[in-house]
């Protein structure tokens, strides 16, 4: 199976911005027009870089790629999933009709300056929600990359 993080030269916890920067750099490097002496290899690399970016830049596809340790024999990329592509793959693999029923939750907790900081990342129905709590109080909420305003109750 192709490791898309390795293809783009980024770490598994890379931000969307880091993934995009890596993609642009490699797309320029491997563009067939920039490699007239090695067009076939450049085309192959360019397609692989484009496929890696397509998967890792999409929250749902990235989540599926990151959480499924191995695919069926013969699976080499998301492009090899056939006519139904990722949607039919997720329907048959996870049950339900496509991406709508897929949910992922990851939580991390750390102590910073004596305060307990908990970050919860929830991906459900194609939406990403990131909640940051400080000592049990919600301090930050981001939905699909846009920070939400929070009402503060002073009790």
CA proximity to 120, closest of 151, 141, 146: 141
State pLDDT tens for residues 34-48: 988 998 999 999 999
In this predicted structure, what is the pLDDT of residue 101? Answer: 56
Whether residue 9 is predicted with pLDDT greater than 90 in this model: the reply is: yes
In this predicted structure, what is the pLDDT of residue 23? Answer: 94
State pLDDT tens for residues 140-153: 888 887 888 777 65
State pLDDT tens for residues 58-110: 777 777 776 654 444 334 444 444 444 444 444 444 444 444 456 778 888 88
Contact 91, 84 (CB under 8 A): yes
Instruction: Give me Rg for the CA atoms of the chain.
Output: 19
- Tell me the C-alpha distance between 123 and 144, whole Å: 9
CA proximity to 93, closest of 122, 66, 64: 64
In this predicted structure, what is the pLDDT of residue 148? Answer: 80
Q: What is the pTM for the complete model shown? A: 0.47
Q: Which residue has the tokens 């981001």?
A: 142
For residues 9 and 95, which has the higher predicted lDDT (pLDDT)? 9
Q: In 3-state terms, what secondary structure has residue 135?
A: coil
The chain-wide mean pLDDT, for the chain, equals 76
Edge-first strand order for the sheet with 137-143 is 103-112, 115-124, 127-134, 137-143, 146-148
Could you tell me which CATH class the domain 4-98 is placed in? mainly alpha
Beta bridge partners of 130: 121, 142
| Domain boundary assignment for the chain | 4-98, 103-148
């Amino acid at each position: 199976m192709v490791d898309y993080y390795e293809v783009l030269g980024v770490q598994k916890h890379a931000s969307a911005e880091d993934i995009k920067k890596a993609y642009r750099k490699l797309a320029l490097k491997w563009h067939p027009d920039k490699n007239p002496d090695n067009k076939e290899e450049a085309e192959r690399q360019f397609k692989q870089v484009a496929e890696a970016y397509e998967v890792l830049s999409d929250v749902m596809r990235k989540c599926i790629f990151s959480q499924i340790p191995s695919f069926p024999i013969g699976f080499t990329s998301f492009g090899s999933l056939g006519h139904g592509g990722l949607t039919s793959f997720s329907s048959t693999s996870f049950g339900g009709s496509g991406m709508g029923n897929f949910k992922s939750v990851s939580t991390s907790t750390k102590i910073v300056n004596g305060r307990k900081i908990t970050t919860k990342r929830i991906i459900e129905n194609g939406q990403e929600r990131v909640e940051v709590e400080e000592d049990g109080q919600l301090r930050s909420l981001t939905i699909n990359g846009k920070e939400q305003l929070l009402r503060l109750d002073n009790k």
